[in-house]
Amino acid sequence: MEEKPQQLMDIEMLNLAMEAFNSAATNLQTSYDALKEEARRLREEVEEKNTELSYFSNLLESVLNNTPSAILVVDETQEIAVKNSAADALLSDIGERALKDMLASSFGQGIFDYAAEGGRYYRINAGELRSEGLNGAVYVVDEITILKKFEQEKQRGIQLQMMGEMAANIAHEIRNPLGSIELFASLLERDLKNNPSAVKMTSNIVQAVRTMNGIISNTLLFTKEINAEKREFVLSDIVDEVILYLQPLLKEKDVTLLNRLDENHSVLCERGLFYQVVMNILHNAIDAVPHIGGTVEIVSEKSDISPHTLSLSIMDNGGGIPQTMRNKLFLPFQTTKTKGAGLGLSIAYKIIKAHGGDIIADSDGATYTKFTVIL
């Protein structure tokens, strides 16, 4: 075999080297392109993560700043490290000293109520916070002044209810001896009829006892739930009994009583309750009339359209219902009288409503008042 000349061999070697170089260069270009692509992908991923992070960070900030609760993070030196808008408002409201005082009072973890100056109350929910670079506590603070007032009112309500029950028991017990006093004073009045000054005194006792009895009856009815057990009664029988009971008062004021009741009219009611309604309205009428020329007129009517509907009107020529009382006549404890409890009409209303009826007041505020009970 003929050997290749040296020069030819060198050229071939050079070609081979060039090929190897070209292939290495192509590989390098491919790797570089892949690396560039990877870098671009990573950059995109970082951007995506950054967008996501900023979205969540904005969301968190907006949630924090839009919650009505004040949220505060305190570091180990008791300095406030983070706070939301509600906490800013709280801080400017009560001042830094009071706020730190409030947080310190919660001693770490749990739920605590704090009474601030000016009668305001706050509820603090405290929890430990251990996070990277922060060893402290997180506090959620809410103003609970209204809630606290409700709690106090509820407590007061319970106490009042207990007092009411006790008062009702006492009132009930007072009634019996009161009945005896009234009976003995009436007997005494009869025995002493020849001694006018003694009669006057005994009649005063009877009247005072009856007034007391009226107050007790209204108080008892006020505390009690009313359920009317209705039966039919002759209306004039009940009204006559009330008139008899109020005789001392009528006599003392020399009231002219015009009794225009129809004796055929009957009323479907619970007798004792209806008696109290008539008593309260008639008592008010006697209170209202002047000492001279006082007139009270009592009228009953049956409706032509609805024959089962009965109306009982009690009209007086007193000074009328004062303007201040117009809108609250039937509310309890509303009175213009020095010795009034303001219970009479509210009880009457409660009773008549329990019977499914109504009471209407009519007055010109100067010369007359008329109460009509419709059953």
Q: Which residues bind ligand ATP (CB under 6 A)?
A: 218, 280, 284-285, 288, 316, 318, 320-322, 325, 329, 334-337, 340-346, 369
Q: Which two tokens stand for residue 75?
A: 């570091």
Q: Return the number of the residue (368 or 371) whose C-beta is nearest Mg ion.
A: 371
Closest distance to ligand ATP from the beta carbon of 275 (Å): 15
If 0-12 CB within 10 Å is exposed, 13-18 middle and 19+ buried, where does residue 269 land? Answer: buried
Choose between 97 and 339: whose C-beta lies nearer to Mg ion: 339
CB of 280 to Mg ion, least distance (A): 5
Place of tokens 């081979």: 16
Q: Considering the complex, what minimum distance in angstroms separates the CB of residue 286 from ligand ATP?
A: 9
Phi first, then psi, for residue 5 (nearest 5°) are -65, 150
316 touches, from ligand ATP, Mg ion, none (C-beta below 5 to 8 Å by class):
ligand ATP
Q: Is 136 in the site for Mg ion (CB under 5 A)?
A: no
Determine, following the binding rule CB under 5 A, whether residue 218 of this chain makes contact with Mg ion. no
Minimum gap (Å) between residue 335 Cβ and ligand ATP: 3
Alpha carbons within 13 angstroms on the beta-carbon side of residue 214 total 28
**Residue 213 binds to Mg ion (criterion: CB under 5 A):** no
Confirm or reject binding of residue 318 to Mg ion (CB under 5 A): no
Amino acid at residue number 201: M
The CB-nearest residue to ligand ATP is 344
Q: State yes or no: residue 344 binds Mg ion (CB under 5 A).
A: yes
Least gap, CB of 70 to ligand ATP (angstroms): 48
Binding site for Mg ion (CB under 5 A): 284, 344
